[in-house]
Amino acid sequence: MLSHLIQEFDHASKTAPEEHALLRHLDGTGAVMETHFRYEERQLVDVLHALPDEDLDRTTLLGEISS
Mean pLDDT of 45-64: 76
Which structural domain range is residue 13 located in?
Answer: 2-66
Query: pLDDT for 4-28, tens place per residue?
Result: 988 988 998 888 778 888 998 899 9
Q: What dihedral do alpha carbons 21, 25, 26, 28 form, nearest 10°?
A: 130
The contacts of residue 29 (CB under 8 Å, 6+ apart) are 2, 5, 6, 9
Number of domains in the chain: 1
The contacts of residue 28 (CB under 8 Å, 6+ apart) are 5
Fill in the amino acid letter for 46: D
pTM for this prediction = 0.60
Fill in the amino acid letter for 49: H
